[in-house]
Amino acid sequence: MEFKWVDTHCHLQLLNEDFDETHCKNIEFLIIPGVDVKSSLKAKEISSSLDLESYWSAGLHPHDAKLLNTQREDLKKLFSEADLIGETGLDFYRNLSTKDQQRESFLFHLEFSKQLDKPIIIHCRDSFQDTYDLLVEFNNSSPIILHSWTGGRKWTKRFRELDVYFSISGIVTYETAKDLQLSVKEIPMNRLLLETDTPYLTPVPLKGKDNRPNFIAHTASKISNLLEIDEKKLSEITIKNSRGLLKR
Ligand SMILES: [Zn+2]
């Protein structure tokens, strides 16, 4: 029996080939995040053309935070139309924009998430302390999604105090992701989400191919083993959580 899943983070607009809805057979609904103005517009276009239920977000990826000044006004317009804000956040692993540029862009997204009361999608890589501090300082009241969460137990426990959603990607299926596998058990059941991050982060055993929404079943199966709950239950819980964050 195939269960239904919500893919809370799939960049369908970044796939090289034309997207085929048969790649979504096991998908209840999905969220298409933007990473700059162009890809946010494309996310909006794909979302309205799909038969499948879908949502889209507008944002500027931390890698491109240096472009904020040229994209700010277009992003503001898109924020008012989008279902969610982001992706934004901090990436101190690759540092493709400076830390200051990333912080400024992150705060810009947080302000609009608060003002418009829309959920915010956050990318957090090698930046747990800084992301945590900014979230505490900002005290956002709209839902916060930590996308492709990779924190270990310590950071999962700290962030869960902020009532955030933890979205788990295919990384959890990797041999090297032992810390993440342990930390999944620390996530409150009503704050657990699943995602593919299509076209990236393809789960085992399909690693090497471009990722697709339906590959989420491999991630779900791994989490169901880690949490020792059956997939039917996991499907129900994650669908409920995903709907909850969109319908406040
Ligand atoms: Zn992403």
CATH number of the domain located at residue range(s) 5-13+24-225+236-246 in this protein:
3.20.20.140
C-alpha of residue 199 to centroid of ligand 1, in Å: 9
Per-residue pLDDT of the chain (248 residues; tens, 9 = 90+): 689 999 999 999 998 776 788 889 999 999 999 999 999 999 999 999 999 999 999 999 999 999 999 999 999 999 999 999 999 999 999 889 999 999 999 999 999 999 999 999 999 999 999 999 999 999 888 999 999 999 999 999 999 999 999 999 999 999 999 999 999 999 999 999 999 999 999 999 999 889 999 999 999 999 999 999 999 999 999 999 999 999 85
C-alpha of residue 182 to centroid of ligand 1, in Å: 23
- CA-CA distance, 184 to 76, in Å (whole number)? 35
Give the pLDDT confidence of 8-21 residue by residue, as tens digits. 999 999 987 767 88
Residues in contact with 194: Cβ distance below 8 Å, sequence separation at least 6, in sequence order = 5, 6, 7, 8, 167, 168, 216, 219, 220, 223, 238
Tell me the residue length of the chain.
Answer: 248
Helix pair angle (216-227, 231-246), 10° resolution? 110
- CA-CA distance, 153 to 229, in Å (whole number)? 20
Residues with a beta carbon under 5 angstroms from ion ligand 1: 87
C-alpha of residue 188 to centroid of ligand 1, in Å: 23
pTM, 2 dp: 0.96
C-alpha of residue 9 to centroid of ligand 1, in Å: 6
Q: What is the pLDDT of residue 176?
A: 94
- CA-CA distance, 220 to 238, in Å (whole number)? 10
Q: Which amino acid is at 192?
A: L
C-alpha of residue 197 to centroid of ligand 1, in Å: 6
Give the pLDDT confidence of 140-185 residue by residue, as tens digits. 889 999 999 999 999 999 999 999 999 999 999 999 999 999 999 9
Q: Is the dihedral of CA 180, 181, 185, 189 positive or negative?
A: positive
Residues in contact with 240: Cβ distance below 8 Å, sequence separation at least 6, in sequence order = 190
